[in-house]
Amino acid sequence: MESWNIPQAVSLREVGPRDGLQAEPTVIDTADKIALVNRLSAAGLPRIEVTSFVSPQWLPQMADAEQVMAGIARRPGTRYSVLVPNLVGAERALVTRPDEMTLFVSASETHNQKNVHRTIRESLEGFHQIIEKVGTQVSISAVIVTAFGCPYEGVVTPAQVIALMDRLEALGIQEITLGDTVGVANPRQVFAIVQQVSHQRPAIQLGLHFHDNRGTALANLVAALQAGATRFETALGGLGGSPFSPGAGGNLATDDAVYLLQEMGVDTGVDLPALLETTQFLVEKLGHAVPSRVFASGGRMVPQGGDPHGH
Ligand code: ZN
């Protein structure tokens, strides 16, 4: 009897157009960003984080947020989200009619100060203003960044994370993603927190967002699955890393996550060959390689009658 027990399907949110591209030093053409989002929706990604309404002075790569949102072809069934750092960003975003807005706060006080120059309390007050402004027009989710470890404070405990979740839930936010911003989470830690949240805070719709700085992201994905997680954020090709987080590395590659999930019989709704063609498109536009191993391997193995090198 198989005791392996994981969900039959998971929901991926593609964050490459935002989390991936924001780390790129060369500004990508708006038309290419639009084409990228359209290719991702055509490949079957159910949710796509399209852009960020951060100040263009801070992040010139995202200065065309309005144009990208206006230019994409909205595929029925795909949910398009945007990252919103503050009330000004939310007001800009609202005009572009996203399906979802993502807010972010750090699990550790020092990281929040360095990242957004606010205390956690001030960030949460900002969320309250945004929620009042947005009302029920757009669904709102939150990402807790540095949820598994902080580059300034080191250890972040599950109790710290759950306490912050409670403050978000008190604001009416029930969809919460835990971000391993600097890639320090390990599978045991991931399993424990997913299990703890699902037992202690069953109303929370938990998501996980892994970075692969130390090669642990796929292992963390499997551990989260084993603990029952069904929602993940990944970036095409494994791009990314925050320009404001020292030591931040690439996101878990969507290519690698989709491949692994499909091989394990977990449905993602994503067409892997179409996804890999999108990664090829991305690589051409970026002009450099991307970390995804599945992309480098060309996707699924196609048996060709023996390996001539005998490996
Ligand atoms: Zn990320």
pLDDT digit string (tens) for 3-37? 788 999 999 999 999 999 998 989 999 999 999 99
Query: 68 — phi, psi (to 5°)?
Result: -65, -45
Distance separating the N- and C-terminal Cα atoms of the chain? 33
Distance of CA 75 from the midpoint of ligand 1 (Å) = 24
Q: How far is CA 164 from CA 123, 146, 147, 183, 228, in A?
A: 12, 12, 10, 20, 21
Structural domain total, the chain: 1
Which pTM value belongs to this model?
Answer: 0.94
Distance of CA 20 from the midpoint of ligand 1 (Å) = 7
What local confidence, expressed as pLDDT, does residue 245 receive?
A: 53
Is 303 a domain residue? Answer: no
Q: In which domain, by residue range, is 269 found?
A: 11-297
Confidence of residue 246 (pLDDT cuts 50, 70, 90): low
Is 93 a domain residue? Answer: yes
Distance of CA 196 from the midpoint of ligand 1 (Å) = 23
Taking the C-alpha atoms of 178, 179, 184 and 185 in order, what is their torsion angle to the nearest 10 degrees?
Answer: 30
Is 50 a domain residue? Answer: yes
pLDDT digit string (tens) for 140-181? 999 999 999 999 999 999 999 999 999 999 999 999 999 999
Is 2 a domain residue? Answer: no
In the chain, the DSSP E strands lie at 11-14, 47-52, 79-83, 100-106, 139-145, 175-180, 205-210, 231-234
Confidence of residue 1 (pLDDT cuts 50, 70, 90): low
Could you give the CA distance from residue 15 to residue 213 in angstroms, rounded to a whole number?
17
Distance of CA 2 from the midpoint of ligand 1 (Å) = 34
273: CB partners within 8 A, 6+ apart: 299
Rounded to the nearest integer, the mean pLDDT of the chain is 94
- Check whether 310 has a pLDDT greater than 70: no
Is 220 a domain residue? Answer: yes
Distance of CA 248 from the midpoint of ligand 1 (Å) = 8
Is 5 a domain residue? Answer: no
Is residue 13 within 8 Å of residue 232, measured between CB atoms? yes
Distance of CA 68 from the midpoint of ligand 1 (Å) = 20
Distance of CA 145 from the midpoint of ligand 1 (Å) = 9
Distance of CA 242 from the midpoint of ligand 1 (Å) = 7
Nearest to 48 by CA among 56, 57, 39: 39
Residue 247: give its domain's CATH number: 3.20.20.70
Nearest to 271 by CA among 77, 73, 45: 45
